[in-house]
């Protein structure tokens, strides 16, 4: 909750950028079923407790917890991407940022993990393809952790490119360069201690270069801010300003190939000051053009 409050404060205090905040609707189960089987969805929601906390994972990663309000939170997290997709196509709102909790990129087809229950960005991808007849979607993930769920869901799908830059070794232990799917998966694992200049160069050559060649119709972003030097869960040394450059490079590709269409989804980021500063840089680059 503190993280969302920090983000909302950052949005309200963003100078020079006109933003229009809306509450996310509850997603329909049929939209979640575009990615996740109904039995898995039922299992997650059946586990929601009346009081206290319930973990959905086995040890040693028993940190994906449900509370009494989890069902609505999960449905709104999924619903944010659905609503942004509709506005993208029907309302011509070409840029959206989904400030969602819980995050999604670790959620696999039938496995919740890493604080994630259902995969928000994957659900939006399938919704865009099936509801709005979008063909090629690129998902760019700059969270410091690899999005094992997003990779697993699209591993054999040539219509979706997934590109991730992430610290390695680090949870969840996936994301090797050798994991290439059907030529649609591009991983750029980086060493702990990597600074901004090296990060940006690797991101450009190993991720953005391939997205550019893919020529997506829509670009989706798994926007994690835990590669910041202040973040306690990782060891990458980005400054807040680096997230402006990262985002600007993404929007330039979207302007070339995707009519400027970008939807960004909040993933990680666990230091409140770094999160506030980095979100402002991300939104400034996302919305200024």
SS3 annotation, the chain:
CHHHHHHHHHHHCCCCCCCCCCCCCCCCHHHHCCCCCHHHHHHHHHCCCCCCCEECCCCCCCCCEECCCHHHHHHHHHHHHHHHHHHHHHCCCCEEEECCCCCCCCCECCECECCECCCHHHHHHHHHHHHCCCCCEEEEECCCCCCHHHHHHHCCCCCEEEEEEEECCCCCCCCCCCCCCCCCEEEEEECCCCEHHHHHHHHHHHHHHHHHHHCCCEEEEEECCCCECCCCCCCCEECCCHHHHHHHHHHHHHHHHCCCCEEEEECCCCCHHHHHHHHHHHHHHHHCC
Question: Is 106 a residue of the active site?
Answer: yes
**What tokens does 101 get?**
């909790």
Query: Which residues lie across from 266 on neighbouring strands?
Result: 223
Is-contact 279 10, C-beta < 8 A?
A: yes
Is-contact 224 171, C-beta < 8 A?
A: no
Selecting among 106, 145, 228, 282, the annotated active-site residue is 106
Q: Which residues are catalytic?
A: 106
């Amino acid at each position: 909750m503190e993280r969302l409050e920090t983000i909302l404060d950052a949005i309200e205090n963003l100078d020079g950028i006109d933003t229009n905040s809306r509450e996310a609707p509850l997603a329909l189960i049929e939209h979640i079923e575009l990615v996740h089987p109904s039995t898995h969805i039922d299992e997650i929601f059946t586990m929601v407790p009346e009081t206290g906390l319930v973990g959905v994972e086995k040890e040693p990663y028993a940190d994906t917890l449900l509370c009494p309000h989890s069902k609505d939170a999960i449905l709104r997290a999924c619903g944010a991407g659905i609503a942004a997709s509709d506005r993208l196509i029907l309302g011509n709102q070409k840029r959206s940022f989904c400030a969602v909790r819980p995050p999604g990129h670790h959620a696999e087809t039938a496995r919740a993990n890493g604080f994630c229950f259902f995969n928000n960005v994957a659900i939006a991808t399938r919704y865009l393809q099936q509801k709005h007849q979008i063909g090629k979607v690129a998902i760019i993930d700059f969270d410091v952790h690899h999005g094992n769920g997003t990779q697993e869901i699209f591993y054999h799908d040539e219509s979706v490119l997934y590109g991730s830059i992430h610290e390695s070794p680090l949870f969840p232990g996936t994301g090797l360069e050798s994991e290439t799917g059907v030529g649609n998966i591009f991983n750029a694992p980086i060493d702990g201690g990597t600074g901004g200049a090296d990060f940006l160069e690797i991101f450009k050559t190993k991720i953005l270069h391939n997205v550019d060649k893919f020529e997506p119709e829509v670009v989706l972003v798994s926007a994690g801010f835990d590669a910041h030097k202040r973040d306690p869960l990782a060891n990458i040394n980005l400054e807040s300003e680096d997230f402006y450059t990262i985002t600007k490079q993404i929007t330039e590709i979207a302007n070339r190939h995707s009519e400027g269409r970008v939807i960004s989804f909040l993933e990680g980021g666990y230091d409140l000051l770094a999160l506030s500063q980095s979100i402002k840089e991300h939104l400034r680059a996302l919305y200024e053009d």
